Structure 1
Amino acid sequence: MLLPAVRLLKKQFPDTQIDWLIDRPIAGLLAQVTEVNVVPIDKPKSIGDYWRIKKQWRRKNTGQLISFQTSFVSNMLMALLPAEHKTGFGPPYSREGHHFFTDTAYELPEHLHQVEIFFALAQKFAGISQQISITADDLNLPVSDTDINWAVDKLQTHRQWIAINPMASTQEKTWDAERYISLIDNLHRLYPDRPVVLTGGSGSKEVAFGQQIEQQTQAPCLNLTGQTTLTQLAAILKQASLLISPDTGPLHLANAMATPVIGLYAVTRPEYIGPYNQLDNCINIYDQAARTFMQKPASQLPWQKKIPSLEAMQLISVEQLIAKVRDLNL
């Protein structure tokens, strides 16, 4: 979601070296991005880690530093990294005292999508006041031929696959396994020529969740949960004709592959964090969940508020999802 902002900065400052510091496990995804210099770093977990980063960068002149993250870790890094000038967010998107670590904290409009928040900060930094549209090309993430060939071999290009990434990073964002099982059986009945491929990370809970779904569904499905690198996952999603997923990283990865997605949103607001340019494809029951579990309409909740309920996602029915798939006219 940060790619459009980074690309805007490179267009505005074509002769400037731009280093993008990013968590090492994610950096591999950006290997084919040529506009900027991707610098993998290990996310600090102790005082010693912060001290090592400070020593590593103390003799490097980073010139202008822009922090697009507002977490405690990012704020500490912003404080430690040397720079002539540090730029970040003012209200309403400053978090964890973020603006106190900046020289310039830009105030941005409320109720922006996360992609637009990043992009607006880049525009402010570059001094651009006119409206600029964010295109699909701005969001596009290139994938290597090696990974594409691997995915083609796995999925066989003569078949049209429906990908399902069932587990989110937190339990409250995850739909029940029984509903995924019912969904897959219904999809097989409706689209017998479109097999299902399960995707997901290598964590033990996620692998077990994928195995449970694979073993209990009546329909055949290919389970690749825990069997792909991030770049191979991107290539798999690029080959798929559709991804169904809760609010989690692979949803945005599929969006960056220009693959149609159906996002399941109950505890987070898709208008803020959904797949950019595909929000109409989302099942959005955030307002219903807010009224049920917070006793307030969504309009009365903070824009970035997560609804703390393990039951909210279960308000989404299999029938709703099947209807959304039908709407896409696969």
Structure 2
Amino acid sequence: MKHPLPARPVHIGVLRLSALGDVCNLVPTVRALQRQWPEARITWIIGKGEHSLLAGLSGVEFVVYDKTTGLAGMRALWRRLADTRFDVLLHMQQALRASVLSLGLKADVRVGYDKARAKDAQHWFTHRQLAPHPRAHVLESFLDFARLLGVEDLSLAWDLPIPDAAREEAAALTGEAPYLLMSPCANPRLRNYRNWSAEGYAAVIEHAWVQHGLTTVLTGGGSTQEREMGSRIQALGQPGAVIDAIGNTSLKGLLALIARARAVVAPDSGPVHMANALATPVVGLYATTNLDRAGPYCWRDYVVNRYPDAVREFLHEDPATIAWGQRVRHPDAMSLIRADDVIACLEAVLAASPTRKETESPDEA
């Protein structure tokens, strides 16, 4: 017998810890739940860094879990929520750690992914599973949770909060002049292979500078890999064409920079989804991950997509029949992207959005 779903939930729990791009893609589902049940209480259990990005999201109570604290952190979170019971818990993290964490949470019904999309046997930890949705984008997979609960209006809305301090942080770096934002590196994880070349980035920077008078702001974390990439890009470029902000912004400051940028250029990483959430034009660079599953949702027509070529060349498989979400873990995959391809997409996205106002909200763009 299936566990019944609440017709009008009073308290909704959302369990999604990471990552930055994924939590951005989840926000429209939260907004859809809020529109359907404006009086419902929503508690989102989220990772530490992801919380710093979304802090202040209207109508949401955040409970932060720092994954570096391990079991001790789980126990602390369970104690904090010992007196809390959810009408429904939306288990939206496909990872064993999150499933173990969910065991200490009280809920009348736990909803998770269908077997085809569940990872680490997540369906063993839930009462109800989503209806199958083959070849779904990550954002659509999140919306499937709202669909299952009977939410009718699934229109996209974000309204990410950017505090004045973050806008001031961004303005101190850029002044009032228009700029291109470039985040050259994805998360430096083992066998990630999502980064393009310094030479390619430098060619795009020169084009933006010469043809459009756009300075390029480089952003990213403070890792050695990211700082070295920034230094190589700068060494290849013209003096004055680059502002190096790598390792020098908060996540809210990065949001503010993205909100004011004429466009964003980045590989599959958090900034492409932040830009998507803020209605900032974005050129994504995709070869190791599937654009149709994980591209910037509203800007997929402007992605440089070499994933099918990489699947054929490095996996020797047919892109039409390969497992959905299969990554191409080869260090040469991103070399299939050419500077001319990126420049062409940049020209197209600039033409599609010729002007941007700092005060323009994502849902008005």
TM-score, length-scaled by structure 1: 0.92
- Structure 2 unaligned spans of 5+: 1-24, 355-365
Shift of 1:251: 1.1
Structure 1 residues 54, 31: closer, same or farther in 2, change over 3 A? closer
Q: 1:112 maps to which residue?
A: 136
Shift of 1:153: 3.4
Q: 2:181 maps to which residue?
A: 163
Amino acid in structure 2 at the alignment position of 1:76: V
Q: 2:332 maps to which residue?
A: 311
Q: 1:149 aligns with which of 168, 183, 192?
A: 168
Bigger Cα displacement from structure 2, 313-322 vs 37-46: 37-46
Amino acid in structure 2 at the alignment position of 1:89: Y
Bigger Cα displacement from structure 2, 54-63 vs 214-223: 54-63
Q: 2:261 aligns with which of 240, 243, 256?
A: 240
Q: 1:183 maps to which residue?
A: 204
2:97 is equivalent to residue 73 of structure 1: yes
Shift of 1:133: 4.8
Q: 2:123 aligns with which of 93, 96, 99?
A: 99
Matches within 5 A, 1:249-328: 249-328=270-349
Q: 2:107 aligns with which of 83, 90, 107?
A: 83
Shift of 1:45: 4.8
Residue by residue over 1:239-288, the C-alpha shift from the partner in whole angstroms, topping out at 9 and shown as x without a partner, is 11010000000111111121100000001111111111110010111111
Q: 2:222 maps to which residue?
A: 202
Q: 1:61 maps to which residue?
A: 85
The separation in 1 between residues aligned to 2:305 and 2:96, in whole angstroms, is 30
Residue by residue over 1:120-149, the C-alpha shift from the partner in whole angstroms, topping out at 9 and shown as x without a partner, is 11220x224x6x5533xx134221122123
Q: 2:150 maps to which residue?
A: 127
SS of 2:254 mapped into structure 1:
helix
SS of 1:91 mapped into structure 2:
coil
The separation in 2 between residues aligned to 1:89 and 1:106, in whole angstroms, is 5
Asked whether the 8 Å contact 1:267–1:306 carries over to 2, the reply is yes
Asked whether the 8 Å contact 2:143–2:154 carries over to 1, the reply is no
Asked whether the 8 Å contact 1:72–1:96 carries over to 2, the reply is yes
Asked whether the 8 Å contact 1:70–1:96 carries over to 2, the reply is yes
The separation in 1 between residues aligned to 2:227 and 2:83, in whole angstroms, is 44
Asked whether the 8 Å contact 1:166–1:199 carries over to 2, the reply is yes
The separation in 1 between residues aligned to 2:236 and 2:187, in whole angstroms, is 23
The separation in 1 between residues aligned to 2:297 and 2:264, in whole angstroms, is 14
Q: 1:217 aligns with which of 228, 237, 244?
A: 237
Asked whether the 8 Å contact 2:31–2:158 carries over to 1, the reply is no
Residue by residue over 1:33-67, the C-alpha shift from the partner in whole angstroms, topping out at 9 and shown as x without a partner, is 11211222212553333333333333332332111
Q: How many pairs were matched up?
A: 323
Identity of aligned residues (%): 28
Asked whether the 8 Å contact 2:65–2:73 carries over to 1, the reply is no
Asked whether the 8 Å contact 1:86–1:104 carries over to 2, the reply is yes
SS of 1:22 mapped into structure 2:
strand
TM-score, length-scaled by structure 2: 0.84
SS of 2:243 mapped into structure 1:
strand
Amino acid in structure 2 at the alignment position of 1:160: P
Amino acid in structure 1 at the alignment position of 2:38: P
- Structure 1 unaligned spans of 5+: none
Q: 1:14 maps to which residue?
A: 38
The separation in 1 between residues aligned to 2:331 and 2:132, in whole angstroms, is 32
The separation in 1 between residues aligned to 2:110 and 2:219, in whole angstroms, is 39
Bigger Cα displacement from structure 2, 61-70 vs 98-107: 61-70
